[in-house]
Structure 1
Amino acid sequence: MGFPVSLRVDDEHVPDEAADAVFAWLREVDERFSPFKAGSEVSRLDRGELRADEVSADLAEVLDLCEHYRVETGGAFDVRLPGRGLDPCAVVKGWSVQRAAELLTAAGARRFCLNAGGDVVVSGGPWRVGVRHPEHADKLCTVLALTDGAVATSARYERGDHILDGRTGRPSTGLLSFTVVASTLTEADSVATAAFAMGPEGIEWAAAREGCEVYAVDAERRVLRTPGFPGAGAAAA
C-alpha cells in the first residue's frame, strides 16, 4: 500500500493468526483498491469496465465516504480531479486500517497499537503517540496520550505538495501539517486530509466536527490546537 505497517499486541491469549489476518486484509485492500494496479476494482471502475451499481459493498462504502467529504468541504476534497484518474486512497487507508483494528478486537485483542505509515489506531492504553515535526525528521512537534482511538496526520514532508485543493486543482500549501484525533482512523485520516486540502479554513472546519481534536501547524509556523487535544508532554521545538 506504499507505507510500512507495524503491529504490537500485548494480549498473550490472542493467536498469531489474528495478526496474519490483519496483514492479509491489508494486502487484499491493496490489490482491490489501488489506482496504480490495472486489475484493481478501482481501476476497472475508472476505465468504465464496471458500473457504479456493480462495485463491491466495500468499494461502495468507500466511495460514499469520499462523496460525503467532497460535499462537506465544498469540493476541496475530491477523489475525481479533472485530468486525473479516480484515486480514493485518502479514504481507503484509514478505512482499511480501522477495519484491520476491528479484526483484532474480534479476535479478542484488548491492548494493541496498529501503526500504518504514522497513522495509528490504539486500544487498551495508555499509549504515547508522537507527531513528527513538519520540518525536522528527527524531531517531534507534540506527543499525545491515547487510551482508545486513532490519530492521523496529513503533511507535505513525505510526498511534497501532493494534496490538491479540488476547488482550484492546485496544491494546498496553507498548512505544513494537520493532525486529527478521533474515535476511528476512518474519520481521523479522512478529516485530516480533507482539512489539509481546504487550507487554513480547514482548521475551524475540522475542529467543529463532533469527536475530533485537532493539532495544526500552518505555513507561518503557527501552532493551533483544540482545547481537548490529548497532549502527553513537551516535544522538541
Structure 2
Amino acid sequence: MRRVEHVMGFPVSLRIDDEGDFGAAADEVFAWLRQVDTRFSPFKHGSEVSRYGRGELADGEPSADLREVLGLCERYRAATGGAFDVRLPGRAFDPCAVVKGWSVQRAAGLLAAAGARRFCLNAGGDVVVSGGPWRVGVRHPEQADRVCTVLAVTDAAVATSGRYERGDHILDGRTGRPATGLLSLTVVAPTLTEADATATAAFALGADGPAWAAARPRCEVFAVDAGRSVLRTPGLPVAA
C-alpha cells in the first residue's frame, strides 16, 4: 500500500510492501502524527509545548511524552556543549529538532506492532525503513534535482540537516548565530530518533559536526562542508 498526507508542515509518505491489509495501521500512524502536531508544535499557541514554554501547564507538569522529549533535548545539549539547544535566548521553546524523528520512529513502531515487516516511512525527507535494502537518495545541497549519493539502508533510518530548504535556521546555541560551517549533513542510524537529533546537533556544531556525529555510537555520516568538500565515514552504506 501507499499513502501520503501533509502533516506537521511537510508531506509524509508511507509505503508497505507486505501482503495483507494494513489500512488500520496506516490510519493509526497518521492519527498519531496529527496528535503530535497538535500537542508538540511550537507554532500553535495552545499546544502542550507552547504552554510548557510559557510556564502555563495546568497541572504544572509535562506529560510523559513531553518528559521523554525534554530528556532527549538535554542529552544532545550536553553532548554538544550547548551548540544544540532548544532554549535559545529571545526565542520560544522549540523542540522540533527532536520531536520529528522521535514521533516518526514511534509511528514506525506502530507499523511493526501491526505486523508490517517491509515498509518505508518518509517524513519530509527523513526516512525510517524496515526490511531492505531500501535505496535512499541524499539530495545535493545546491542542486535540487540532483543527489549527492544513494544509500542502501536496511532496518535503519536516514536524516539530513541542511540550509537549502529553510536557509540558516539552525543556530549554534553557544553563540546564538546561524551555523554556517556545513551545507548539509546526513546521518544513518538504527532509529530516526537518533538520526534526526544527531544530524541537527552536528549541524549546529559547524565544521566540528561531522567528526562529532561519526563518534556517536552506531552512526554513519555523509556531509558537505561550506568549502564543498565531501566527508563520509567508512561504514556509510553506499548503494552499489
TM-score w.r.t. length of structure 2: 0.95
Amino acid at match of 2:51: R
Deviation track 1:62-121 (CA, whole Å, cap 9, x = no partner) reads 000000000000000000000001000000000000000000000000000000000000
Counterpart check, 1:117 vs 2:121: no
Structure 2 counterpart of 1:55: 62
- Give the stretch that moved more between structures: 68-77 or 13-22: 13-22
Contact 1:66–1:79 (CA<8 Å) still a contact in 2? yes
Counterpart check, 1:22 vs 2:29: yes
Alpha-carbon distance in 1 for matches of 2:215, 2:191: 17
Amino acid at match of 2:17: D
Alpha-carbon distance in 1 for matches of 2:19, 2:63: 36
Counterpart check, 1:11 vs 2:18: yes
Structure 1 counterpart of 2:157: 150
Q: Following superposition of structure 1 onto structure 2, how do residues 43-122 of structure 1 map, counting pairs within 5 Å?
A: 43-50=50-57, 54-122=61-129
Structure 1 counterpart of 2:4: none
Amino acid at match of 1:18: A
Aligned residues: 233
Question: Unpaired segments of 5 or more residues in structure 1?
Answer: none
Alpha-carbon distance in 1 for matches of 2:151, 2:184: 15
Structure 2 counterpart of 1:40: 47
Structure 1 residue 138 displacement after superposition = 0.2
Q: 1:80 to 1:14 in 2, by over 3 A?
A: same
Deviation track 1:188-223 (CA, whole Å, cap 9, x = no partner) reads 000000000000111111101110000000000000
TM-score w.r.t. length of structure 1: 0.97
Contact 1:14–1:108 (CA<8 Å) still a contact in 2? no
Alpha-carbon distance in 2 for matches of 1:67, 1:14: 40
Counterpart check, 1:171 vs 2:178: yes
Amino acid at match of 1:160: G
The DSSP-based 3-state class of the residue aligned with 1:209 is coil
- Give the stretch that moved more between structures: 8-17 or 135-144: 8-17
Structure 2 counterpart of 1:215: 222
Amino acid at match of 1:207: A
- Give the stretch that moved more between structures: 167-176 or 200-209: 200-209
Structure 1 residue 51 displacement after superposition = 7.8
- Give the stretch that moved more between structures: 89-98 or 43-52: 43-52
What is the CA RMSD across the aligned residues, in angstroms? 1.1
Q: 1:51 to 1:64 in 2, by over 3 A?
A: farther
Structure 1 residue 177 displacement after superposition = 0.2
Pick aligned residue for 2:204 from 189, 197, 206 = 197
Alpha-carbon distance in 2 for matches of 1:85, 1:78: 12
What is the aligned-residue identity percentage?
A: 79
Structure 1 residue 52 displacement after superposition = 9.2
Alpha-carbon distance in 1 for matches of 2:131, 2:102: 20
Alpha-carbon distance in 1 for matches of 2:132, 2:169: 33
Alpha-carbon distance in 1 for matches of 2:151, 2:27: 29
Amino acid at match of 1:213: E
Contact 1:45–1:52 (CA<8 Å) still a contact in 2? no
